[in-house]
Amino acid sequence: MRHLIVLSALIVLLGPSLSAQTGLRGWHADGQTWLVWNDDQTFVGNDSYSIYRATSPITNLAQAERIGRLFPADWQAPRLKLAPGGTTWTLPDAGGGTYQLEADEAVFVHTPHAAIPEYFAVVKTGDFTVGADNTTGPIAQTLDPVQPQAQLSGLDDGHPYTVFALWVDGREDPGSGRPGFPVMANQHTNGIAHIFCVFSPSQGAPALPMPAVLSLHGGGGSYWKFRPSNGPTARVNYKVEDGLYVTFDNRLNVFGTTEVVGVGTRWFGYWQHYDRFLPPVVLPPDDGVIYDYTARRLDWVTDWLVAGHDVDPLRVSVIGTSMGGRGTCAYVRRNPDRVSAATAFVMPDLFGDSNGVSLMGEPAQNLATNLGVGIVDFMWPSTLASDVDLPSMRFVYGTEDSQISWLSRPVIMTEIDAQRWGTQLYWDERGHVGFGGAWDGAHFVGSPRHDAQWLTRFRSDRSYPAFSHVDHGGDPGQQPHPGDPVVPANGDPWGTWGGWFDWELSSLVDEPDRWEATVFLVSSSSFPNDVSPSDSATCELTVRRPQAFKPTAGTPFSWSLTRIADGSLLQTGTGLVAADESVTLTDLVLHKEEARVVVIPGCGGLCAISNTCATSPNSQGTGAVMGNLGSPSLAADDFVLVADGCPPSHFGIFYYGAEEAALPFGDGLRCVAGPQLYRLPVVLTSPAGRGEHALDFGAPPTPAGQITAGSRWFFQFWYRSDVIGGAGFNLSDALSVCFCP
């Protein structure tokens, strides 16, 4: 990282490329051209400077192209001054050092698209007079990589930080960027600086490559408001000790009623020809297209951190509140492959102020975006903009939020839950933001699962179980429940769908022929409200972000759930891979104890073995062992049930049912069960003690016992066991089979 060096004698150091006069001067460094001039400081209201470019000396503005305009707030750096020691912009000089702008100087940054010499002029907007004092050139330019410029450094509650500025390239054509440096603004926002701040761990350098947490502020916030030391005030812990914590600033200086005002871009962007120099509430046309300029900037800074600061691209997560929460949700859905995990607090749905409709149009317009979806649709949190699986996310809403109506919250939560994302949905009694005490006393405030640090445990190259349709109450419907879309909220005052479920990351298995994870309800925590209030809960589990486990749509699969403590088989089931190739286990019951879920694609063979089957008190031995011959395929029609370890030349019967359960059968035996047990013809075991029966798929015992593709059945063999002093019966263990078409 370049050390910050203040050079007071810039004119001398830069040599002949700078004019010795007090007017416009320029030079090229770090892939961009830097234009500096003395500000006459007579600007009022919405006055601005205009910047022009040409390939020959400029003697008349009609010969040149206007490439930018600046409000005083653009060069006076009021947002930079929010951080201690922030004063004026620090720029690179032509000799490899730095230059700090004087208080009465202005700066514009041009990103060239060709390595040619160019000339520049700067005038007050509306003034067309040019001369030696407000023109400069030729400036030889290169296409070297663009670099953010370090502005200042310090410590925040023990966390070293550096504030950076990135001057963006704005063009009329959003797709005309340079290789490695895309267009991140339109022609009316060209050449302005955007700030971000990188906080390092307080305990020293972590293992490399390290994770990074990107933090997006709310509509009234800034990059500095959500710094680590402000976490207690914000009621969220923003300290990250194993990686980087990066806060971004989202503010455009725009024409106000009487003076320049700052507005946010919803962390997405604005319509292609939005003119920030026009009065507010100038709507874009109905055919206007909104481009993701701001999201591109987040992308670029992230890639820069990966390339130069040892950030792991597979461990980049996002956190945000209010507008930042909406930005978090939108950014993840825009490019889910770039994000490992996310947390969004009290996110609004769409627009707020009049400048918002100037940037993005009125909601009724639902202007198109470059993502191929309308902006209103895209900003709705349950809209998917990609077919790539989303990362694990946490969304937190407040029933007492005075700025965001509760009317949409139950609707959004229900829609998200129905899509089986890996999103843990929370609600409690909090207001809109934590500042000012609006979150004090809310049920989940203080949860370490909502901290920035929690996000660093996830990776984008690792699959995970997504829990949905959860029920902690046992009653019909989902419990707890947020209630109806009414104000005031009429549901449970607090609750979560999915937040009391968890899994063990390190032992996850993701292979072509199986997927395994250790799953459980949270039973202990330093934060009591993170513990599930129920001892068991029902849910669906969808395998998200599979890496190798990718059975095709329509493929049958089987699953089992085994308690780790004693190896007991708790549940089994089957299903078919959905049309979107997702795998979902239904009616899964989890407890406050670790259990291993195993999913096997394709058709049985041996899907699960029951350990609950017992023998008659009058019998001897351990019973027969079930197996099979041939393929469990209806098309092959060669499936044979096998029971080995039986007495030779004895009669026995194969039974099958829809469930494995510990139910009494006959003389105290335990066996498979279901709404009905189906009996196959009697067989005689061989002299070697094997019983066999070839299934005839076209002739089941009854229609209810039909063996169909994708169906799963448990099979068992019942046989008589003659012993000294009496007679008894034995049951084999159970064989669970999932049948192929």
Which among 570, 566, 565 is positioned nearest to 597, based on CA atoms?
570
Which helix (H) or strand (E) segment is 301 a member of?
helix 293-308
Beta strands in 125-209 (DSSP E): 135-139, 149-156, 159-167, 193-199
Structure-block tokens of residue 596? 């291993």
* Secondary structure class of 293 (helix, strand, coil): helix
Phi, psi of 435 (to 5 degrees): -65, 140
Cβ atoms 130, 119 nearer than 8 A:
no
Phi, psi of 607 (to 5 degrees): -95, -40
Q: Which residues of 155-193 are buried (b: 16+ CB within 10 A; e: fewer)?
A: ebeebebbbbbbbbbbbeebeebbeebbbbbbbbbbbbb
Phi, psi of 453 (to 5 degrees): -60, -35
pLDDT (tens digit per residue) in 179-235: 999 999 999 999 999 999 999 999 988 999 999 999 999 988 999 999 999 999 999
Cβ atoms 413, 329 nearer than 8 A:
no
d(CA 272, CA 275): 9
DSSP letter at 78 equals T
Chain-centre distance of CA 92, in angstroms? 35
CA distances, 298 to each of 200, 380, 400, 735 (Å): 18, 21, 31, 53
Domain ranges of the chain: 1-146, 148-462, 500-601, 625-738
- Return the CATH class of domain 625-738: mainly beta
Which among 373, 450, 436, 368 is positioned nearest to 402, based on CA atoms?
436
Specify the CATH number of the domain 148-462: 3.40.50.1820
pLDDT (tens digit per residue) in 582-601: 999 999 999 999 999 999 88
pLDDT at 721: 67
d(CA 583, CA 556): 10
Which among 501, 545, 534, 498 is positioned nearest to 519, based on CA atoms?
501
Residue at token pair 């040019």: 130
CA distances, 328 to each of 9, 381, 629, 725 (Å): 44, 10, 53, 75
Helical axes 293-308 vs 323-334, angle rounded to 10°: 70
Cβ atoms 731, 671 nearer than 8 A:
yes
d(CA 296, CA 274): 17
pLDDT at 279: 86
Indicate if 148-462 has the same CATH topology as 1-146.
no
Structure-block tokens of residue 551? 């059975």
pLDDT at 715: 86
Structure-block tokens of residue 112? 């060239």
The torsion angle over the Cα atoms of residues 21, 23, 26 and 32, rounded to 10 degrees, is: 160
Its CATH architecture, for the domain 500-601, is Sandwich (2.60)
d(CA 646, CA 652): 9
Residue at token pair 């448990």: 714
Cβ atoms 523, 509 nearer than 8 A:
no
Phi-psi domain of 266 (left: phi exceeds 0; alpha: psi -120 through 50; beta: other): left
Phi-psi domain of 423 (left: phi exceeds 0; alpha: psi -120 through 50; beta: other): beta
Cβ atoms 239, 329 nearer than 8 A:
no
d(CA 255, CA 275): 9
Cβ atoms 191, 70 nearer than 8 A:
yes
Its CATH architecture, for the domain 1-146, is Sandwich (2.60)
The bridge status of strand 464-471 relative to strand 536-544 is: antiparallel
pLDDT at 673: 65
Structure-block tokens of residue 9? 């004698």
Model pTM score: 0.84
Question: What residue ranges of the chain have pLDDT lower than 70?
Answer: 1-22, 350-355, 475-476, 603-623, 660-674, 710, 721-728, 741
d(CA 105, CA 145): 26
